[in-house]
Amino acid sequence: MILALDMGNTNIVIGCIDSHKTYFVERVTTDHAKTGTEYAINIKNILEIHQIDPSEIEGAIMSSVVPPLNAAISSAVKKILGYHPMLVGAGIKTGMNIIMDNPKTVGSDMIVDAVAAIKEYPGPIIIIDMGTATTMSVVDKGGNYIGGIIYPGLRVSLDSLSSNTAQLPSISLDIPKHVIGKNTIDCMRSGIMYGNAGMIDGILDHMEEELGEPATIIATGGLSRFVVPLCRHKILYDDALLLKGLMILYEKNKA
């Protein structure tokens, strides 16, 4: 069993996984003000909730799109396990060709998702990861990472709408009962949820047209479960995709 962490701009995904099962997936808020000790307390508490003894964990790996917090999280893991986690970054073996203008600029979370998807699903593959930003990554039939898109996530769009308009309140992200809203909150909720679902469907159509064939479509990330049911395409939801990718990368690089 390994400890896998993915540090995003809004949440840090923490989980324990081995080659047979995912033991848990939890999220804590990304907070630049927290120290390594405070993060260590968060991680230790999560392990205790799931009744996992640190001595059962053989290794740790971390991906991050928030470099300023890498040292704090790495320190937190060392306080609990006695060693620093492996960090996904330049030089790590992925077993995947990244056909991009500058492969080093591709987000580590996008690479980790793609590594897991290649192992579990037939290509070509489109991976939707909905977090602070929504990313859609494309892997061709040969298992090559060939590109994707990035656009503002649901929460970013909703916060922008509320903060830049005088009469529109902050609302929760729930699946709307109807497309046509009957009050301001329902109209906002329907707009943000069905708007994103429609955008995803439209982009998927264009991507499959460029690929020249239908793709296996996978969704992951904390917000995907709210939007996937509203999409017209067949989309498989895999909340543990990123942890599976981290497990694969750990096994490839642990030597």
- Residue among 18, 31, 101, 109 flagged as catalytic: 109
Would you call 146 exposed, middle or buried from its count of C-beta atoms within 10 A (0-12, 13-18, 19+)?
middle
Q: Which is nearest to 142 in space by CA: 96, 207, 210?
A: 96
The pLDDT score that the predictor gives to residue 141 is 93
φ, ψ at 78 (rounded to 5°): -65, -35
The pLDDT of residue 159 is: 77
Q: What is the CA radius of gyration of the chain?
A: 19
Predicted local confidence at residue 109, as pLDDT? 87
Catalytic site includes residue 186: no
* Beta-bridge partner residues of 145: 98, 139
Q: Where are the domains of the chain?
A: 2-87, 103-245
Please, what CATH class does the domain formed by 103-245 belong to?
A: alpha beta
pLDDT tens, the chain, 255 aa long:
999 999 988 889 999 999 888 899 999 999 999 999 999 999 999 999 999 999 999 999 999 988 899 999 999 999 999 999 999 987 788 888 999 998 888 888 899 999 999 999 998 999 999 888 899 999 999 999 999 999 988 878 777 777 767 666 676 777 888 899 888 888 888 888 899 999 999 999 999 999 999 999 999 987 888 899 999 999 999 988 999 999 999 999 986
Query: Tell me, what's the pLDDT at 117?
Result: 95
Q: What is the separation, in whole angstroms, between the first and last Cα of the chain? A: 16
Question: In this structure, what token pair is assigned to residue 207?
Answer: 């991507």
Q: Which residues are annotated as a binding site for ATP?
A: 6-13, 132
List residues forming the annotated binding site for substrate.
Answer: 107-110, 184
The CB density around residue 102, as the number of other CB atoms within 10 Å, is: 7
pLDDT score, position 166: 65
pLDDT at 222: 77
Task: Please state the pTM of the whole predicted model.
Answer: 0.86
- Fold match between domain 2-87 and domain 103-245: yes
Homologous superfamily in CATH for domain 2-87: ATPase, nucleotide binding domain (3.30.420.40)
